Amino acid sequence: MKATSRFDVPSEPLFRPSLDVHSLSTSALHRLRLKLSEDGASQPICLPVVVARGATPGPVVGITSTVHGNEVNGIPTIHRLFRTFEPSELTGTVVAVPIVNVLGYDRFQREFHDGKDLNRAFPGNPEGVASQAFAYRFLNEVVRNFDYLIDLHTASFGRSNTLYVRADMTRPVTARLGRLLGPQIIVHNTGADGTLRGAAEDLGIHALTIEIGNPQRQQNRLITASRIGLREILEHLEMLAPDHETPQTQAVECQRSFWLFTDGGGFLEVFPALAAGVEKGQPIAQLSNEWGDVLRAYEAPEDGVVIGKSTNPVAHTGARILHLGIVGSVG
Ligand SMILES: [Zn+2]
């Protein structure tokens, strides 16, 4: 049976080759399609970009989502954030790219359409492979406009995450923004090589990453918390007047974190809940063979907090068990 549908799109978006936010009219919301590359049939690969230009000049805050194509909780987070204000109330500019990796998104896959991880391709290369060329253009045509960048992610396939922030907590501005977001956990982490966050920081942009739960899901509780945290940042930057909502969570801060891996293969059970504290020596997981015999039992190597964990019980040698954060602040 055919589902009923209703279309309610206010105006056709504009096609553009690049983004210059200062050329756009003020006190207005702009929907753009940026043509950054082309597919094998010479068709444009267009990026949806929403720009809220405020009434008065101010900072440019960029919010990007779905650099990994199957990490989609950031999309409704952006949509709902933009419903909380009118451009005429805004100082400065908010630029959002709800789906960066458009073709990966369409295939429910993390990677870019050349099979590479786009978040390891930055700052890109104009003469490189598809993901590098795209990263180069995205960084230079879009991200260069920003004073601040918040990049929205989730866990990868087979894992689940808390709502947590990855940020260089030795940078005072970045640290303040991370705390304003009100996540469950903040992990101090300098942007790894090839990430959008690291490339943005190299351009002098204050940048942080939010990990919002699990891949290929819409998780409303985490989306709402993220939307409230993003709005809190805009209020802190004096771009919007305070509203009645503030983040309810005081983040647990971690000075470092690492994944624990299996040293054999089998059926994996991981015991602690997300965000739970674990003590050194506490049983955290076990691996069974195909007959149900327990082959290995794993213990926490240090006191910590569970940032993320495996949800895929089928473990090869070297499978991820859990992402352990070591509590403590830096800077
Ligand atoms: Zn990601």
Helices 220-236, 74-82: crossing angle, 10 deg rounding = 50
Written as six digits, the tokens of 242 are 């305070």
Cα(154) to centroid of ligand 1, in Å?
Answer: 5
Written as six digits, the tokens of 118 are 């786009």
- The CATH number corresponding to 14-236 among 3.40.630.10, 3.40.50.720, 3.60.20.10, 1.10.3720.10 equals 3.40.630.10
Cα(161) to centroid of ligand 1, in Å?
Answer: 11
**The pLDDT of residue 248:** 83
115 sits in which H/E element: none
Cα(109) to centroid of ligand 1, in Å?
Answer: 11
Cα(155) to centroid of ligand 1, in Å?
Answer: 6
Written as six digits, the tokens of 123 are 């700052």
Q: How far is CA 70 from the centre of its chain?
A: 11
Written as six digits, the tokens of 165 are 């922030």
**The pLDDT of residue 12:** 55
- The CATH number corresponding to 256-327 among 2.102.10.10, 3.40.50.150, 2.40.170.20, 2.40.50.100 equals 2.40.50.100
pTM for this prediction = 0.95
Cα(117) to centroid of ligand 1, in Å?
Answer: 9
* Contact between 91 and 238 (Cβ < 8 Å): yes
**DSSP character string of 76-111:** HHHHHHHTT--GGG-EEEEEEES-SSHHHHHTT-SS
* Contact between 185 and 274 (Cβ < 8 Å): no
Written as six digits, the tokens of 157 are 């396939």
Domains of the chain: which residue ranges?
14-236, 256-327
Cα(68) to centroid of ligand 1, in Å?
Answer: 5
* Contact between 218 and 76 (Cβ < 8 Å): yes
Tokens 């794993």 correspond to what residue?
298
Cα(302) to centroid of ligand 1, in Å?
Answer: 26
Cα(53) to centroid of ligand 1, in Å?
Answer: 28
175 sits in which H/E element: helix 172-180
Written as six digits, the tokens of 139 are 């960084």
Cα(285) to centroid of ligand 1, in Å?
Answer: 25
**The pLDDT of residue 91:** 98
**The pLDDT of residue 170:** 96
Mean pLDDT per 10-residue segment, the chain (331 residues): 66 72 94 90 92 97 98 98 97 98 96 96 96 96 97 95 96 97 96 91 97 96 98 98 91 97 98 98 98 97 98 97 96 64
Cα(72) to centroid of ligand 1, in Å?
Answer: 10
**What residues have their beta carbon closer than 5 A to ion ligand 1?**
68, 71, 153
**The pLDDT of residue 18:** 79
Distance between CA 101 and CA 106 in Å, rounded? 9
Within 10 A of 8 (CB to CB), how many other CB atoms are there? 4
Cα(18) to centroid of ligand 1, in Å?
Answer: 24
**The pLDDT of residue 3:** 78
**The pLDDT of residue 188:** 97
